Amino acid sequence: LVTSPRIFSNYTARYACLRASPLVCPNQALAAELGVLYLHRDLEGKAVNALGYQRAISVLKAYPRVITLENFDTEVRHLPYIGEKIQSKVTYLQHTTSSHPEVEQIKEFIRFGVIEECQTIRASERFWSLKTLTSVHGIGATTARNLYSIGLRTLEDMERYYDVPVADDGTLKLEEEEVIYTPNGKRIPRQARLPDLSTKAALVLRNDLEASISREEVEEMHAVVMAELEELQPGCVSTIVGGYRRGKLQSNDVDIVFSHSDLRSGGNQVKGLCRKLVQRLYDRGLVTHVTHLSGFHARDAMRTSHWDSLEKALTIFILPSDGTQKRSHRRLDLIFAAPEAYWTGVVGWTGSKMFERDLRLWAKVEKGMKFDSSGITRRHDSKKFFPKSELEVFEFLGLEWIDPTLRNA
């Protein structure tokens, strides 16, 4: 990654969408150590405290020099979310905590290369158990704490608790797909719905789903999906977004935003296409499970910060084996935008999560706009705006361009 001094000029900004944040920063080890404190707070359900660390880490990621005791006192401790409370005109930009443990903890790291509290956390059985239990897809911190409180500690405990079937050779088995037979013996799947990824299945597939995905495989998956989509609806366009687009060498999942190249169609070519594509990929054996599928049904209870009205499917995908290599199940997120919402979709799904969080906050507080992956709305009269390129999204919101590889806030 090329890092020129200019791109760091805005590292003092309070909004992550104004800072250039490279994938790897000069204070990577410090960020990782503070990351332990963030994770600990997050696993314990201390959301406000966790966010404080997340914000401090995010600010450090944009700081262009190795932090020393000297520049810490002259500069770093005055950065937003790190040092003393800065008076802000907007109350919700302020810290809700009155003390700033980060200041002492960062100093500790500069002096000793570790933070004592992190050592304590790393030695804690509860921390490792909660971390392990949440490594299973679909198990969040709250569920993990509940499982811990009834005595579960390891993945093996979880296998027993969720009654995962074990084969004779000791390997775990996926449950057979349930089928019913019609009176004349025709075999049809019991449910017309695509199979959900149950906790049981997530446990069986955990080694696959935990493994990271190379850029090469991301691109191969993208090509396979696009070939299927082209058969279904010619002329679609797509961008691989998420961590891949921010330059990560290894991704945890694959995120793709789709649309249609025909702007005049008013989105008719993409309406319902998400569901059709997922069904087709399922019929081909490429998609094995679905964890979320939006479209014709009423909005479900998925309450995440990135909720928008775009059609999307969160799936489990596996490339066909070519006989020489064993393939792994991967998480694949498919997002469909009408042509006019394509660029807000791409910006909204490129991330990082902190970049997106502050992009929304910036738009709302500073510009009187609501940003979301499905478009930009002016708050006072609900007028919708649909930028025609990614650069136009930035310009419209009054932001300097930040390259996707510098959005690792």
- Residue 52 interacts, among Mn ion, ligand TTP, none and using kind-specific CB cut-offs from 5 to 8 Å, with Mn ion
User: What residue type is assigned to position 153 of the chain?
Assistant: R
Is residue 333 a contact residue for Mn ion (CB under 5 A)? yes
Q: H or E element: which one contains 120?
A: helix 116-122
**Selected binder of ligand TTP within 11, 349, 362, 396 (CB under 6 A):** 349
Is residue 33 a contact residue for ligand TTP (CB under 6 A)? no
CB 57 within 8 A of CB 21: no
**Selected binder of ligand TTP within 98, 171, 184, 305 (CB under 6 A):** 305
Closest CB to Mn ion among residues 275, 331: 331
Q: H or E element: which one contains 52?
A: helix 47-61
- Residue 352 interacts, among ligand TTP, Mn ion, none and using kind-specific CB cut-offs from 5 to 8 Å, with ligand TTP
Quick note: the x/- pattern for ligand TTP over 215-254, rule CB under 6 A, is: ---------------------------xx----x--xxx-
258 Rama sector, left if φ>0, alpha if ψ -120 to 50, beta otherwise: beta
Query: How many Å apart are CA 198 and CA 289, to the nearest integer?
Result: 9
C-alpha pair distances (Å), 128 with each of 78, 120, 202, 231: 34, 12, 19, 47
Task: Identify the DSSP state of 329.
Answer: -
Instruction: Give the interface size with ligand TTP as a residue count (CB under 6 A).
Output: 15
By CB under 6 A, which span of 107-115, 136-144, 298-306, 380-388 interacts with ligand TTP?
298-306
Task: Identify the DSSP state of 409.
Answer: -
The footprint of ligand TTP on residues 306-325 (CB under 6 A) is: 306
Query: How many Å apart are CA 251 and CA 233, to the nearest integer?
Result: 28
Q: H or E element: which one contains 199?
A: helix 199-204
Which single residue brings its beta carbon nearest to ligand TTP?
Answer: 351
- Residue 143 interacts, among Mn ion, ligand TTP, none and using kind-specific CB cut-offs from 5 to 8 Å, with none
Q: H or E element: which one contains 331?
A: strand 330-336
Residues 6+ apart with CB under 8 A from 395: 387
Compute the least distance from the CB of residue 352 to ligand TTP, in Å. Answer: 5
Is residue 329 a contact residue for ligand TTP (CB under 6 A)? no
**Selected binder of ligand TTP within 80, 345, 351, 387 (CB under 6 A):** 351
By CB under 5 A, which span of 15-23, 101-109, 136-144, 257-265 interacts with Mn ion?
101-109
Instruction: Give, in degrees to the nearest 5, the angle at Cα 18 between 13 and 24.
Output: 95
Compute the least distance from the CB of residue 168 to ligand TTP, in Å. Answer: 36
Closest CB to ligand TTP among residues 102, 308: 308
- Burial class of 325 by CB neighbour count within 10 A (0 to 12, 13 to 18, 19+): exposed
Closest CB to Mn ion among residues 280, 306: 306
Query: How many Å apart are CA 358 and CA 191, to the nearest integer?
Result: 42
Is residue 308 a contact residue for Mn ion (CB under 5 A)? no
By CB under 5 A, which span of 49-57, 166-174, 217-225, 367-375 interacts with Mn ion?
49-57
Both structure tokens of 147: 């499982």
Is residue 255 a contact residue for ligand TTP (CB under 6 A)? yes
Residues that bind Mn ion (CB under 5 A): 52, 100, 102, 242-243, 253, 255, 333
